Structure 1
């Protein structure tokens, strides 16, 4: 049952049944002319970094500056947008100003199917701000990279892994171990520092220390 603001309870099981994610190439084709600095996030970003598809993906996420969402939405006029959070789904218009909610799901109004999740991220002009620790910041020129084969933009892997560390589901742990040997020294140093601040004592810190021959950060 919907509340007066259009929100309704929304279970993970229902989400699983209603998601039919696009691929990064489909998203990139739609956003090819957009001036917004966007990038594939999550597991797909790690696949673009590694240059191969590692597993099936239940969804697809892109990251954008929060204030640029209307420009992104304008590229998809035939679709509608919902905002999920804490087992509830709101129409975008009813939750757009809530700073604690950043996900925005693109929905086909004719089928109710979700195809894309847009992360509306905090920023200061051309600088990305981590929503879990606002002292962690990167200019977009350092935050985004492009696939060598497809030119699709993606978030740098150390940022993706920082966000995956909190859930630390089996797929996240597998992603970490797959990507760890591919990270350059400065990427390992960033991830080590950030994890030590946001998730002190995380098991990944020990493995990063082993890879770099240094003491775990935050311990």
Structure 2
């Protein structure tokens, strides 16, 4: 079992797009890079690169990626090799490297859909039918209000997440700001610092 969690040499956005465009699954850039793609420039350094995909696409994803990549299921602070035939229900986070010693190159975050709607796992009353946008180069990325919900809805609000929120907020439309505020209120009925700012 690998424990070198900081051993990262992430693919670039262009390299990631080239790899995933060749795979017949729904996908998009997530994390801090998604926010960068939304505003059209990089706003800070990133230690990794995240891709979001739907749970129903996991079989096709495994079929294509396992030929060239070693895939790890990340759960409970542990990394275990994803083997063909493993239950897909428990797979929410996947890390990829070329071999057991090579650095990790990308991370896949698995999201759930029901009836064509994305479900927010921390509060399944929060849903959306359209979670992706495309930049000018056609690279899909997670909508900024949804990415910020993932950041703001975490059990621990990190400094970089607050930085991302403050930086990206002026680039959100009124509808995106309203959606984010409503989602945060639904998840945190007793209050959230970002709601007061919005």
Q: TM > 0.5 between the two?
A: yes
The residue correspondences of 1:1-219 to structure 2 (distance < 5 A) are 8=1, 10=3, 14-16=4-6, 18-76=7-65, 77-93=67-83, 96-97=86-87, 99=89, 101-109=91-99, 111-139=101-129, 142-148=130-136, 150-165=137-152, 166=154, 167-200=156-189, 201-208=191-198
Would the aligned equivalents of 1:130 and 1:136 in 2 still touch at CA under 8 Å? Answer: yes
TM superposition shift of 1:111? 3.3
Q: Summarize deviations over 1:150-205 as a string: whole Å, max 9, x none.
A: 21100000100001012321111100000111111110111001001113411101
Which secondary structure does the structure 2 equivalent of 1:63 belong to? strand
Q: CA RMSD in A?
A: 2.0
* Matched pairs, number: 194
TM superposition shift of 1:89? 1.5
TM superposition shift of 1:30? 1.1
Work out the CA distance in 2 between the residues paired with 1:95 and 1:9: 21
Would the aligned equivalents of 1:36 and 1:71 in 2 still touch at CA under 8 Å? Answer: yes
Work out the CA distance in 2 between the residues paired with 1:126 and 1:80: 30
- Greater Cα offset, 187-196 or 119-128: 119-128
Work out the CA distance in 2 between the residues paired with 1:73 and 1:101: 12
The alignment's TM-score, normalised by the length of structure 1, stands at: 0.81
| Greater fraction of residues in helix | 1
Structure 2, unmatched stretches of 5+, are: none
Work out the CA distance in 2 between the residues paired with 1:176 and 1:134: 23
Q: Which residue of 2 aligns with 1:216?
A: none
Work out the CA distance in 2 between the residues paired with 1:99 and 1:199: 27
TM superposition shift of 1:61? 0.7
Structure 1, unmatched stretches of 5+, are: 1-7, 209-219
Would the aligned equivalents of 2:2 and 2:80 in 1 still touch at CA under 8 Å? Answer: no
- Greater Cα offset, 57-66 or 97-106: 97-106
TM superposition shift of 1:96? 4.6
Q: Summarize deviations over 1:86-128 as a string: whole Å, max 9, x none.
A: 2211122399537455110112116332111111111125322
Residues 202 and 96 (structure 1), Cα distance of their counterparts in 2 relative to 1, 3 Å cut: farther
Work out the CA distance in 2 between the residues paired with 1:38 and 1:15: 24
